[in-house]
Structure formats: structure tokens, C-alpha cells
Amino acid sequence: MVWLWWAMNRFPALALMLCLPIACLWAWSGDSAHAAAKAEPKTKDLGSAKDWSAYVAGEKPALICYVVGHPAKSLPAKLKRGRIALQVTHRPAEKAFNVVSFELGYTAKPGSSADLEVDGKKFSLFTNKDAAWTPDAASDKAVTIALEKGHNATLKATSEHGTQTTDTYALDGFGHVLGLADKACNVKR
């Protein structure tokens, strides 16, 4: 180490040539980390009620507001599954409101549909990989209204292995947290 100190004091240009690239690399990595952190949207918890929570992510004009809930009961009970959730999302900048999706916790049977029933009202959803979706904006709105006014929602779907599943959601609190998401994204009902 003594020789390095001696060389840097004796030849300042050498010191500059050795240290400048290191300083630039250090500064660049700090800037990129800062930029990456800045680019990642921040999520804010808007509130919860029973099994439901509302969140907002990003900043105007690209806000994303969403409601998430998990089933009160899933059958078959001993089946190992990933995340199971119902989500309703608003993306005002994209003019997408009440987008309904279900995370199934497994890969669905290709080409299959999922059947949703909300207090006797039936809806057909399409599946794609590990999720089920309403087919269009009109269905999104109809399902969201049914969820808001309903008491229970049941989703039946089939895995790629042929296992039939049933997830039952208690809707107590859904309307309240949907109101929080609506307010954050300025959605009028």
C-alpha cells in the first residue's frame, strides 16, 4: 500500500487516471439506483374493512386505484395453491374502470372459463394462465355493482390438471373500500 501512496503523490496524473473512473462509476451507480427508486410507483394504503383493502399507486395522471380481497373459504381445502385474490382496479389515465380479476393460485386449464356467482347472479369469466377476467368493460361494471351490493361471491374454476376449485368471498366491507378507491381515482358511481 505504501508504494501506491508514493506513486499517487509522485505522479498526480496517474492518481487522476486511477481514481476518476472509480469516482464516475460510484456516482453513476448512485444516480441509477436513485432513478430506479424514483421510477417505481409508491403504494399508499387507503384503508381496510373486513377481508378487503384499498390502495392507490403512482401519481397523477397515472394513478392506479385498486381493491383486494381474499376468499373466506377455498375448496378443496388441502390443495396447495399460490396467491388467491379478487381485485377490482381503476386506471383513469387509460380510461379503464372497475376491471375485475381473480388470482386463482394455479394455472387454469387452457381454454377454460370460470363461473362467478354473486348472490344468485351468474357471470362467465375467461381464464389466462393463473387468472380469471371479465370479458369486457360492461361485464366489469356489472360484476363490480353486484359485488358492491352483494353478500357472497363464489368463483368456480378448473386447474390445468383438471382439479375443480371453489373460492367463496364474503363481501362485507367491499362496498366501503371500493368507495375509498373510487374517491382516490375520482370515479363517480
In a domain, 19, yes or no: yes
In a domain, 11, yes or no: yes
Which residue has cell 410507483?
41
In a domain, 129, yes or no: yes
Q: Are residues 30 and 104 in the same domain?
A: no
Domain count for the chain: 2
CA separation, residue 37 to residues 26, 62, 80, 88 (Å): 17, 17, 34, 26
Does the predicted TM-score (pTM) go above 0.85? no
Q: Are residues 29 and 96 in the same domain?
A: no
DSSP label at 89? E
In a domain, 89, yes or no: yes
What pLDDT is stored for residue 75 in this prediction?
97
What pLDDT is stored for residue 29 in this prediction?
40
Q: Are residues 29 and 49 in the same domain?
A: no
Q: Are residues 90 and 25 in the same domain?
A: no
Q: Which CATH number does the domain housing residue 94 bear?
A: 2.60.40.1880
In a domain, 171, yes or no: yes
Q: Are residues 66 and 23 in the same domain?
A: no
Query: 172 is in which domain, residue-wise?
Result: 43-184
Share of the chain above pLDDT 70, in %: 78
Q: Are residues 63 and 102 in the same domain?
A: yes
Average pLDDT of the segment spanning 39-50? 86
Other CB atoms within a 10 A radius of the CB of residue 50 amount to 14
Give every CB contact of residue 56 below 8 A, 6+ residues apart in sequence.
43, 44, 46, 63, 64, 65, 66, 181, 184, 185
CA dihedral 62, 140, 51, 110 (to 10 degrees): -100
pLDDT digits (tens, 9 = 90+) for 106-138: 999 999 999 999 999 999 999 999 999 999 999
Q: Are residues 49 and 140 in the same domain?
A: yes
In a domain, 189, yes or no: no
Q: Is the pLDDT of residue 165 over 90?
A: yes
Q: Are residues 27 and 107 in the same domain?
A: no
CA separation, residue 84 to residues 4, 6, 119, 122, 129 (Å): 60, 64, 20, 20, 13
- Written as one letter, the residue type at 83 is R
Q: Is the pLDDT of residue 27 over 60?
A: no
Q: Are residues 88 and 159 in the same domain?
A: yes
In a domain, 143, yes or no: yes
